[in-house]
Chain A
Amino acid sequence: MNLKGRTRPGFSWLGLIGFGLLLALLGVALVQARQLQLLQQAVRSGDDFAVLSIYQVEIEYLRLRESWRRNSAPNAPSAEAPLDELKLRYDIWVSRIALLDGPRPRRLIDENPNYTSTVLDMQRFVALADTALGTQAQQPVTADFLASRLPSLDALGPAIHALSLGAAHSLAEQNEQRNLAVRQQNQLGLGLTVFMSILTLAFAFIALRQVRQLRQRRVVLEELASSLSEARHEAEGASQAKSAFLANMSHEIRTPFHGLMGMLSLLRETGLNPRQIDYLRTATESADHLLAILNDILDMSKLESGRLTLNPVPVDLRSLLRDVESLMRPQAGAKGLALHLDADPAVPERVMADATRLKQILFNLLSNAIKFSDRGAVLLHVRVREGADARPELEFAVIDTGIGMDAATLAQIFNRFAQGDNSRSRRHGGTGLGLEISRNLARLMHGDLSVTSRPGEGSSFALRLPLTAVLDAAAGKGATEPARPSTSRPLRVLVAEDHPVNRQYISALLDNLGHKAHFAANGLEAVDAARQMAFDLVLMDLHMPLMDGVAATRAIRALPEAARSTVPIVAMTADAFEETRDRCMVAGMNDFLTKPVSPQKLATLLRQLFGRESGAVPFGEPLPSDTAPPPAARRPLTAGSTPLLDDSAIAAALSALSRAELGAMIATFLDQGPQTVQHLRAAVRDAQPLELRVNAHAVKGVALNLGLTALAHTAEALQEGAAHLPAHEIARLVQRYEELLPVTRQAAQQAGLLPASPAEPPAVP
C-alpha cells in the first residue's frame, strides 16, 4: 500500500524537527547557564559593595571634617568627650580608607590612576594625623594641631568626592555592560524561543497530518472491511442460492426421473422380446447411473450447507460387511477380481455408526477399487488400531491391485471432479464427487479418509473412525430390510400428485399391491377429496400448484369431521432434507417417503401403517400375488417338510430387534399359545367362522413377523379355511397348532433365541 510509503518522509521530518528542538533546548540551556554565570560574577565581584565602601569613605570623611572643624576652633572646649568623639570618627574614617585597599575596590579604582593618587593622599594625611590621633601618638591633640592640619584635610575633599563620582560612573558603566550582555542573552533566548516555537508548530503540524493520515487509513480500512464483509455476505448468499438451486434441481430432475424409472420397471413385466429386454436393461443401467449422480449431487449440496445429519445407532458390523460384500461381489466377479472382506477378531460385534452413510463410503471405495483394477484382488480389512490421541479407532482398509496413482493425482484425488486422469475418467466415468463425499462424510463422523498409492502398484484407502463399541445387546439396525408382504386389505389411497407420469406410476404400484388410488392434481383438490370421501391413506406430494402438500395437510387436519381429519397422511418428496421432514411432521403428517418410491418402500410403509390390522380384511379376499408369504411358507403343510423357524425372517427381525427382545416376544407369544388354542376351540365349537378367522389372522401376522413359520402356516390355513373347511379339518388344524407350540419352543431354544432351560409348558394331550 502506498500509505506506508507516504509516512516515511513524515517520520524523517519529525526526526529532523525533534533534533532541531533538542538543539534549541540545548541553546536555551546554554544561554541560561551564561546568565547564571553573569549573575554569579556580579555577586562575587561585589562591585556594588565596593561602591558603597567608597561612598562611606566620603561620608565618614565629611563627618570627620565636621568634628575636626569643631575641635580646631580656638574657642573649642577642650573636654575629653568631644575629643573621644573626634578619635572615633577618625578611626572609623581610617577603617574605611583601609577598605579601599581591599581587592575589590582596587579593581574599581585601578581603572583610573587619579584614584590611586587620592588614596595615597589620604594615607599620607593619616600618617600625619596619626602622630596625634594614632595608637602610638607622639603629641597631644590640641586645637592648634587640629587647625594646622585642617587645610590639608579640606584639600582631600574634592578628590574624595571625585572618587565617589568616578566609582558611581564606573559602576554605572559596568551595569550598562552587564545590562547589555543580559539584553544580548535575552535576545538570543528570544530568538531561540521563536525558533523553538516554529519547530514546535512544525512538529504539531506534522503530528496533526499523521493523525489525519491515520484516520484516513482507518476509514479506508473500515471501508475495506465493510466491503469485504459485504462480499462475504454476497458470497454466502450466492452459495445458499446455489444450494437451494441444487435442491430445487434435484427435485425437478428426480420427479420426472422417478416417473421414468417407475415406467421402466413396469415395462419389464409387459412381456418383451429378448432384444427389447436388452434395450430396457441398458436404459435401466443408464437410469441407475443417472440416479447415482443425482444422489451424489444432493449429498454434496447437503454436506456443503451442513444440512446432512448423521444418525448413529448400534450396528452389527459383520452383518453390515456381509451386506456390502453381497452387493459388491457381482461387480468384482464381472471383472474376474477376487473380493475379500474380513474383520479382526478384536473388532467388536456392534459399534455405533450411521450404517447407511458407512455403507455409502465403503461402496464408493470398493467400487472405485474394482473400477480401477483389471486383475488381482480387492481387499477390505477392518481392524482396531490406536488413534492419534491414544483413542481406539476403527480402520477400514480398502486395498486393490489396480493401476495406482502418481503423486500429482494423489494430491488431487479428494478434490471435486478429480479423477485419475482424463483417459481414466473417459474409461471409467463417474461424477468425481464420490471421494469428496466420502471424505466429508468420514470427517462428519469425526474420522478421516486417507490414501497411499503408487502408479502400477495399486492403491490403499484407509477410512478411520472413532470406535464406539456397543456393549449391551441393543440390536443393529444397519442391515437392509428384506421386502415384506404388504397388507392384505385393499386400501383406498388418495394420491395428491401434480405430475401425470408420477400419478400413473404410483397408480401402477398401488394397483400391483391391490390397492385403489384416487387422484388429486393439487392441494386444493386433495382437501376437497378428503372432505367428501373416506380414505385409508393420503400420499401427499409436497410440491404442487395452487396449494402445496404441507398447506393441504393442515387443511385436512382442520376438517370438522374427526374420521376425515385423522386420516394418515404420508409425504412424498424428492428432497430428503431434515427440515423438510420436520416441516411435514409439524404440519401433522404421519410419515415421509423419499422419491423414487420403490415398490418395497411403499409396501414397507403400508405394512407399517396397516399390516397388523388384518382383522378388518373381509372374507374371501384373495391375497395379492406379491404380498404372499415368503417362499418357505408356500411349502406343503406337513410337519416333516415345513421348517419350524424361518431363518431369513428371524435374521430380518434381528436386524431390527436384539436377540433378547425377539426371544422375549417369542416367549410371550408361545406362553399365550394355550390361551389361543382355547379361543380357537371355542370358535370352532360355537361355529363362529369370523371369530376363528380374526384370531387366526392375528396369530398368523405375529408368527410371520417372529419367523415362526410352522405356526404361521397353520394359522394361515385356519384363516383361509375358516369359512369353507369341514369342522373336523379345522379341529385337526387347531390340534396341529397346539402340537407345534412345544416343538417350536424347542427349536427356538436350539437357535439360541430362548434360554436353554425354561420350564417346559404343560403338555397338552
Chain B
Amino acid sequence: MAGRRWLLKAGFAALSVTAGLGAGPARALDRPAGVVVLTLTGSLRRANDAGRALFDMAMLEALPQISHATRTPWYAQSRRFTGPLLRDVLAAAGAHGTKLRLSALNDYQVDMPMDDAQRHDVIVARLLDDKPLAVRDKGPLFVIYPFDARPELRSAVYYGRSAWQLRSIEVL
C-alpha cells in the first residue's frame, strides 16, 4: 500500500524549481568550483547562485565529516557511511523553513520535516566504506539516518526519507 503511494509520488512528481524567498544572503556562500552535486532552493539566506545554493563535492567535503556504521534495508551487512551533517549543509546555505523536499536523480521525491535534521544526526553521505559513492552505488549523495544508534528510526517513514542519489533539496 505504502509502496504504491511512493510509486505514485515517484511517477507523477515533477521537479519544481521555486525562486528563493525571504531576505538576501547575509554572507554569500562560495561559488562551486567543480561539478555541482547538490542544489538547495527555497528559503535560503546564503544562496550563491540566483537564489539557489550550489554545492560541489569539495564544498561538502569541507564541512565537518560524520560517519555512521549502520545496517540499512539496501545492504545485506552493516556499512559505513561518511559525509557532512545535513543540518551543517542547511546552515551553510542559511536554510530556514519547516520542511525539506528531497529530490533524487531518478525524480524520487520525499518530504522531511526540518526538525529531523536538527534532532537526529542525519548525514549527507558521500563515502561508502570510505570510498566515494558512485551513481551505481546510490551515489553520489545518500541521506542516512543513524538507524543503528536510534532504533525508533527503523521504520518505513525514515527509510523513505533516506533519499539516495540525492540531487536537490527544496526548503519550504
Task: Tell me whether A48 and B138 are in contact (CB under 8 A).
Answer: no
Query: Does A642 touch B at the CB level, under 8 Å?
Result: no
Query: Does A51 touch B at the CB level, under 8 Å?
Result: yes
Task: Tell me whether A56 and B76 are in contact (CB under 8 A).
Answer: no
Task: Tell me whether A48 and B135 are in contact (CB under 8 A).
Answer: no
What 1/0 flags go to A156-181 for Cβ under 8 Å of B?
00000000000000010000000000
Query: Does B12 touch A at the CB level, under 8 Å?
Result: no
Query: Does B131 touch A at the CB level, under 8 Å?
Result: no
What 1/0 flags go to B29-52 for Cβ under 8 Å of A?
000000000000000000000000
Knowing A48-B1, A51-B3, A56-B10 are in contact, say whether A102-B135 is a contact too (CB < 8 A): no
With CB as the reference atom, state the residue of chain B lying closest to A97. B136
Option from B1, B6, B76, B156 in Cβ contact (under 8 Å) with A103 = B76
Knowing A60-B106, A95-B165, A102-B74 are in contact, say whether A49-B3 is a contact too (CB < 8 A): yes
In the assembled complex, which residues on chain B have CB atoms less than 8 Å from the CB atom of A51? 3
Q: Which of A86-94, A579-587, A651-659 contacts B (4 or more CB under 8 A)?
A: A86-94
Instruction: Give B135 Cβ to nearest chain A Cβ, in Å.
Output: 4
Option from A49, A94, A102 in Cβ contact (under 8 Å) with B159 = A49
Knowing A52-B3, A56-B10 are in contact, say whether A94-B156 is a contact too (CB < 8 A): no
What 1/0 flags go to A73-104 for Cβ under 8 Å of B?
00000000000000010011011001100111
Query: Does A46 touch B at the CB level, under 8 Å?
Result: yes
Task: Tell me whether A56 and B106 are in contact (CB under 8 A).
Answer: yes
Query: Does A396 touch B at the CB level, under 8 Å?
Result: no
How far does the alpha carbon of A696 sit from the alpha carbon of B165 in the complex, in Å?
153
What 1/0 flags go to B1-34 for Cβ under 8 Å of A?
1111011001100000000000000000000000
Query: Does A55 touch B at the CB level, under 8 Å?
Result: yes
In the assembled complex, which residues on chain B have CB atoms less than 8 Å from the CB atom of A56? 10, 106
Interface residues of B in 74-102 (CB under 8 A from A): 74-76
Residue of B4, B7, B135, B138 ringed by the most chain A CB atoms within 10 A: B135
Knowing A48-B1, A48-B3, A49-B3 are in contact, say whether A92-B155 is a contact too (CB < 8 A): no
Instruction: Give B71 Cβ to nearest chain A Cβ, in Å.
Output: 11
Chain A contact-residue range equals: 20 to 34
With CB as the reference atom, state the residue of chain B lying closest to A48. B3
Task: Tell me whether A91 and B10 are in contact (CB under 8 A).
Answer: no
Task: Tell me whether A88 and B155 are in contact (CB under 8 A).
Answer: no
In the assembled complex, which residues on chain A have CB atoms less than 8 Å from the CB atom of B136? 91, 94-95, 98
Query: Does B64 touch A at the CB level, under 8 Å?
Result: no
How far does the alpha carbon of A440 sit from the alpha carbon of B165 in the complex, in Å?
113
Task: Tell me whether B7 and A55 are in contact (CB under 8 A).
Answer: yes
Knowing A43-B155, A49-B73 are in contact, say whether A92-B135 is a contact too (CB < 8 A): yes
What 1/0 flags go to B149-163 for Cβ under 8 Å of A?
000000110010000
Residue of B6, B73, B75 ringed by the most chain A CB atoms within 10 A: B73
What 1/0 flags go to A127-146 for Cβ under 8 Å of B?
00000000100000000000
Task: Tell me whether A52 and B105 are in contact (CB under 8 A).
Answer: no
Instruction: Give B116 Cβ to nearest chain A Cβ, in Å.
Output: 19
What 1/0 flags go to B94-120 for Cβ under 8 Å of A?
000000000001100000000000000
How far does the alpha carbon of A51 sit from the alpha carbon of B7 in the complex, in Å?
10
The size of the chain B interface, using a CB distance under 8 A, is 23
Instruction: Give B12 Cβ to nearest chain A Cβ, in Å.
Output: 12
Interface majority SS (helix, strand, loop, mixed), chain A:
helix
Instruction: Give A575 Cβ to nearest chain B Cβ, in Å.
Output: 99
With CB as the reference atom, state the residue of chain A lying closest to B73. A46
Query: Does B129 touch A at the CB level, under 8 Å?
Result: no
Task: Tell me whether A48 and B2 are in contact (CB under 8 A).
Answer: yes
With CB as the reference atom, state the residue of chain B lying closest to A135. B134
Task: Tell me whether B7 and A52 are in contact (CB under 8 A).
Answer: yes
How far does the alpha carbon of A104 sit from the alpha carbon of B159 in the complex, in Å?
14
In the assembled complex, which residues on chain B have CB atoms less than 8 Å from the CB atom of A55? 7
Instruction: Give A57 Cβ to nearest chain B Cβ, in Å.
Output: 11
Query: Does B130 touch A at the CB level, under 8 Å?
Result: no
Query: Does B137 touch A at the CB level, under 8 Å?
Result: yes
How far does the alpha carbon of A80 sit from the alpha carbon of B161 in the complex, in Å?
33
Task: Tell me whether A104 and B73 are in contact (CB under 8 A).
Answer: yes
What 1/0 flags go to A37-78 for Cβ under 8 Å of B?
000000100101101100110011000000000000000000
How far does the alpha carbon of A88 sit from the alpha carbon of B105 in the complex, in Å?
9
With CB as the reference atom, state the residue of chain A lying closest to B4. A48
How far does the alpha carbon of A104 sit from the alpha carbon of B3 in the complex, in Å?
14
How far does the alpha carbon of A746 sit from the alpha carbon of B7 in the complex, in Å?
146
Task: Tell me whether A92 and B105 are in contact (CB under 8 A).
Answer: yes
How far does the alpha carbon of A59 sit from the alpha carbon of B155 in the complex, in Å?
25
In the assembled complex, which residues on chain B have CB atoms less than 8 Å from the CB atom of A92? 105-106, 135, 165
How far does the alpha carbon of A111 sit from the alpha carbon of B105 in the complex, in Å?
31
Instruction: Give A50 Cβ to nearest chain B Cβ, in Å.
Output: 9
Instruction: Give A182 Cβ to nearest chain B Cβ, in Å.
Output: 13
How far does the alpha carbon of A523 sit from the alpha carbon of B135 in the complex, in Å?
139
Instruction: Give B81 Cβ to nearest chain A Cβ, in Å.
Output: 16
Knowing A46-B73, A46-B159, A49-B159 are in contact, say whether A91-B134 is a contact too (CB < 8 A): yes
How far does the alpha carbon of A264 sit from the alpha carbon of B73 in the complex, in Å?
134
Instruction: Give A86 Cβ to nearest chain B Cβ, in Å.
Output: 13
Instruction: Give A609 Cβ to nearest chain B Cβ, in Å.
Output: 114
Interface residues of A in 307-338 (CB under 8 A from B): none
In the assembled complex, which residues on chain A have CB atoms less than 8 Å from the CB atom of B134? 91, 135
How far does the alpha carbon of A95 sit from the alpha carbon of B141 in the complex, in Å?
13
How far does the alpha carbon of A48 sit from the alpha carbon of B8 in the complex, in Å?
13
Task: Tell me whether B75 and A102 are in contact (CB under 8 A).
Answer: yes
Instruction: Give B142 Cβ to nearest chain A Cβ, in Å.
Output: 11
Knowing A60-B106, A95-B138, A102-B75 are in contact, say whether A43-B156 is a contact too (CB < 8 A): yes
Task: Tell me whether B137 and A99 are in contact (CB under 8 A).
Answer: no
Task: Tell me whether A102 and B105 are in contact (CB under 8 A).
Answer: no
Task: Tell me whether A95 and B137 are in contact (CB under 8 A).
Answer: yes
How far does the alpha carbon of A171 sit from the alpha carbon of B3 in the complex, in Å?
10
How far does the alpha carbon of A94 sit from the alpha carbon of B106 in the complex, in Å?
12
In the assembled complex, which residues on chain B have CB atoms less than 8 Å from the CB atom of A95? 135-138, 165
How far does the alpha carbon of A95 sit from the alpha carbon of B1 in the complex, in Å?
24
Instruction: Give A328 Cβ to nearest chain B Cβ, in Å.
Output: 108
Option from B3, B6, B135 in Cβ contact (under 8 Å) with A91 = B135
In the assembled complex, which residues on chain A have CB atoms less than 8 Å from the CB atom of B137? 95, 98
How far does the alpha carbon of A52 sit from the alpha carbon of B73 in the complex, in Å?
13
Instruction: Give A99 Cβ to nearest chain B Cβ, in Å.
Output: 7
Residue of A52, A55, A56, A59 ringed by the most chain B CB atoms within 10 A: A52
Instruction: Give A155 Cβ to nearest chain B Cβ, in Å.
Output: 22
Instruction: Give B54 Cβ to nearest chain A Cβ, in Å.
Output: 18
How far does the alpha carbon of A55 sit from the alpha carbon of B6 in the complex, in Å?
11
In the assembled complex, which residues on chain B have CB atoms less than 8 Å from the CB atom of A52? 3, 6-7, 10
Instruction: Give A53 Cβ to nearest chain B Cβ, in Å.
Output: 9
With CB as the reference atom, state the residue of chain A lying closest to B155. A43
In the assembled complex, which residues on chain A have CB atoms less than 8 Å from the CB atom of B165? 92, 95
What 1/0 flags go to B119-149 for Cβ under 8 Å of A?
0000000000000001111100000000000
With CB as the reference atom, state the residue of chain A lying closest to B139. A95
With CB as the reference atom, state the residue of chain B lying closest to A126. B136
In the assembled complex, which residues on chain A have CB atoms less than 8 Å from the CB atom of B159? 46, 49
In the assembled complex, which residues on chain B have CB atoms less than 8 Å from the CB atom of A88? 105, 135
In the assembled complex, which residues on chain A have CB atoms less than 8 Å from the CB atom of B106? 56, 59-60, 92
Instruction: Give A422 Cβ to nearest chain B Cβ, in Å.
Output: 101
Instruction: Give B74 Cβ to nearest chain A Cβ, in Å.
Output: 6
With CB as the reference atom, state the residue of chain B lying closest to A51. B3
With CB as the reference atom, state the residue of chain B lying closest to A101. B76
How far does the alpha carbon of A51 sit from the alpha carbon of B156 in the complex, in Å?
14
- 7 A-B residue pairs with CB within 8 Å: A49-B3, A49-B159, A92-B105, A92-B135, A98-B137, A102-B74, A171-B3
Which A residues are within 8 Å of any B CB, using their own CB? Answer: 43, 46, 48-49, 51-52, 55-56, 59-60, 88, 91-92, 94-95, 98-99, 102-104, 135, 171
Q: 4 tightest CB-CB pairs across the interface, nearest first? A: A48-B3, A91-B135, A95-B136, A52-B3
Known pairs A92-B165, A94-B136, A135-B134 / 4 extra A-B pairs, C-beta < 8 Å:
A48-B156, A52-B6, A56-B10, A59-B106
